[in-house]
Amino acid sequence: GDEDDDDDEENDDDDDDRGDEDDDDENDDEDEDSASRDEGRDQVVEILTDERVATLESQLELDASFIPAATTLVEALHEAVELSVPTQAVKNARNKSGKTKDKADAKARSQANSSLQVNPNGSFGCRGGQFQFADAEGYRRLMNRSMTLVLDGVDRYLSRDTSNPKWDPSKNMRWEKVEGIVKSLARSILELTSGVDDEETKRFLLRRCERLVSYSHAIQKLDRRLLKIATREWAECEMDETAVRAFLLLHLIGRTREGDSLMDVLKYTHRAFGDLAKVYNPSRMKRVEFACKCLTELHGIDMEVSYKAAFTEIRELGLTLKAVMTSKGLARIDDVYNWQYINRLRLWSRILCFYHREEQLRPLIYPYCQITTVVMTLAPAPKNFGVRFQCALFLNELSQESDTFIPLASALLEALECGDMKRGLQGITSSRGNRKVRCFEFVERKIMA
């Protein structure tokens, strides 16, 4: 058992190290891209008007002029993104301790304003940039339409098979000509998605991110960046529509990139669910239930991968319970009796109920029942009866769906026969008067209500 605990700690350290390496690689890629752009910039600044942007968009339809037109639009789009959302500034400001989100955003926006250059003729752009926008119309046209039109042009240029979700663009002979364009466009979309605050704009950008999934076969680490953004928006977004759009992106990544990528999707979403499930109140119930349904759908993509993820998660629940049971006097009881642990039990009850007929997941019903049964009776004090009834609810649902007998009568009768349950509770009164009622009557009325 101790060796298993050590192995888990080593695996967690490896995951953290790998996550840090991914972040470092992303920063290195951004530095290299910015350096290459700075080297390739000419001294002449191009003025982009609404008519000029429209002309470039029309040139995207011709193969002969597609590459230069798309390159110009993508470079201008990147500068527009840097001008509108200072992603790195937001990230640096929010990571500083003692800063609230609003104060961090205000500081980031002040840094963005310092990079804004407004010319006497009314044009504006990034200070030291290659492009200047003549007016707001050209800027809005570039941000609203050019992003989609460039993606359409790349799909047409590579003859993308939209019916094949596992289409690999690197097998096309023209891929090398547009690889830099797609990388720069993907970087701009991801930066804008990470920094934008408007919910409608987020949903628009998440739909664009769905079209980038097919290119993750040819662009290294793109699927990991898409996964991080989609998971964050799915778990932290307050709007249901945006969370649904983020989940569709997660489902597309898992369905398109099976194997290790699907395992990463499940690992990231379970980790995000653990953070989300720490609080469980009337305002958070819908979000937790929605997250349970989403994870249930993700586990249905590939049962072999789902079994590996489920075994790891249920084993982690068991190891946490074992650590509590072996602690002196149950000193670590709070590691189990908290909303995060209970909601994780709730999640696996939903998943096992839904996939109880699958031969891969059905063997996990027994260890789940063992863990949940021990949690029920771990601390038999009356103040912990709420946990007991919650666990009994999970096991009853699983027993009904899977046609599996799970003995619960003794644990429930023990709670109902407790002395505190038989005598009147202090401070509990009926809704029709001030007389005290017995606990059985109080519970019965609450259930009937």
CA dist 353 and 369 (Å) reads 12
Residue corresponding to tokens 């530095």: 31
Amino acid (1-letter code) at residue 141: R
Tell me, what's the pLDDT at 383? 84
CA 179/CA 216 separation, integer angstroms:
11
Q: Which two three-digit tokens encode residue 141?
A: 């046209």
Burial of residue 440, with CB atoms counted within 10 A of its CB: 0-12 exposed, 13-18 middle, 19 or more buried: exposed
CB atoms within 10 A of CB 161: 11
Question: Are 188 and 74 a contacting pair, CB within 8 Å?
Answer: yes
User: Beta strand 116-118 with 124-126: parallel, antiparallel or unpaired?
Assistant: antiparallel
- The rounded distance, in Å, linking the Cα atoms of 306 and 267 is 10
DSSP string, 224-268: HHHHHHHHHHHHH-S-HHHHHHHHHHHHHHHHHS-THHHHHHHHH
| pTM for the predicted model, two decimal places | 0.77
Long-range contacts of 60-64 (CB under 8 A, 24+ apart): 60/149, 60/150, 60/152, 60/153, 61/153, 63/157
pLDDT in tens, the chain (449 residues): 454 555 555 555 555 555 554 555 555 555 544 444 444 444 467 788 888 888 888 888 888 889 999 998 888 888 888 877 654 444 555 454 444 455 555 555 555 555 666 767 667 767 777 888 887 888 888 888 888 899 899 989 988 877 777 788 888 898 999 999 999 999 999 988 888 888 888 999 999 999 898 888 888 888 889 999 999 999 988 778 999 999 999 999 988 876 678 899 999 999 999 999 998 988 888 999 999 999 999 999 999 999 999 999 999 999 999 999 988 877 788 899 999 999 999 999 999 999 999 999 999 999 999 999 999 988 888 888 889 999 999 999 999 999 889 988 888 888 877 766 666 545 445 444 444 444 445 545 554 55
Give percent helix, percent strand, percent coil of the chain, each to the nearest 5: 75, 5, 25
- At 357, list the tokens: 């007929």
The total of other beta-carbon atoms located within 10 Å of residue 87's CB is 20
Asked if 193 contacts 207 with a C-beta cutoff of 8 angstroms, the reply is no
Residues 6+ apart with CB under 8 A from 189: 147, 205, 208, 209, 212
Q: What is the pLDDT of residue 283?
A: 84
How far apart, in whole angstroms, are the C-alpha atoms of residue 210 and residue 158? 17
Q: Pick from 295, 216, 209: which is nearest to 249 by CA?
A: 209
Distance CA 245, CA 129 (A): 34
Instruction: Please give the helix or strand (H or E) that residue 316 lies within, else none.
Output: helix 303-326
